[in-house]
Amino acid sequence: MNAADITTSALPLTSSDLSMFHLFWQAHWLVKTVMTGLMVCSVWVWAIAIDKTLLFRRIRKSGQGFEQAFWSGQSLEELYASLAAKPGHSSGALFVAAMREWKRSFEGHARSFAGLQMRIEKVMNVAIAREVEHMERWLLVLATVGSAGPFIGLFGTIWGIMTSFQSIAASKNTSLAVVAPGIAEALFATAIGLIAAIPATIFYNKFITEVNRQAQHLEGFADEFTAILSRQIDERG
């Protein structure tokens, strides 16, 4: 960017031109890239947030429904028959995985009780891992945007400040009209960085807590169910 460039970009800019659109349009292409990237990040973050909110609401609902049915004394076979097609993403999925393994062990006429409990535990662990992985998907994006967003915005800020100083150097004048466009550009970049980063951080904290709680819940259910199945195995064996 040479001197003439700066003066033409800096001097005609009066206060009436400081709308958001002009701020974006008159920025350096690098700052434009930063701003665009941060805007995309923001869109992505909110999409993830909406998706996860809906997902956790669904999980909580189905989990409550399943556990009510599970502890109501209903036959486990019937419950399995009703759930096998659509296991969902909660303790229901664990139950279906464990029951499938149980059934396979019996239906094969092998009557192999020896490793059954271990197998069921393994299956349930795998199911828990799969569920947690499903819940945690995209949360890394939130974490990244939350931590890197301000820095990316800061990059645009520094570029804007540099523009300001270059305008000062080019026009040998420190009046507000010379400095303001660069500063405004800089602050706009910072603002977009923060706009993207703040919700990302908040949502990340919220969802990671939720994931931990759900994982704990699944572990608890798995232990209980293992205990029940183990009793069954012992009775039959």
Binding site for another protein (CB under 8 A): 15-21, 39, 42-51, 54, 138
Query: Measured from the CB of residue 56, what is the shortest distance to another protein in angstroms?
Result: 13
Query: Measured from the CB of residue 50, what is the shortest distance to another protein in angstroms?
Result: 4
Task: Give one word for 79, left, alpha or beta, with left for phi > 0 and alpha for psi -120 to 50.
Answer: alpha
Query: Measured from the CB of residue 184, what is the shortest distance to another protein in angstroms?
Result: 9
Nearest-CA neighbor of 76 among 113, 112, 102?
A: 102
Cβ proximity to another protein: between 50 and 129 the closer is 50
Length of the chain: 237
Cβ proximity to another protein: between 87 and 199 the closer is 199
Query: Measured from the CB of residue 177, what is the shortest distance to another protein in angstroms?
Result: 11
Q: Using CA atoms, how far apart are residues 45 and 66, in angstroms rounded to an integer?
A: 31
| Cα–Cα separations (whole angstroms), residue 26 to 8, 9, 119 | 11, 7, 64
DSSP alpha helix (H) spans, 72-175: 76-83, 91-107, 116-136, 139-171
Cβ proximity to another protein: between 124 and 135 the closer is 135
Cβ proximity to another protein: between 1 and 43 the closer is 43
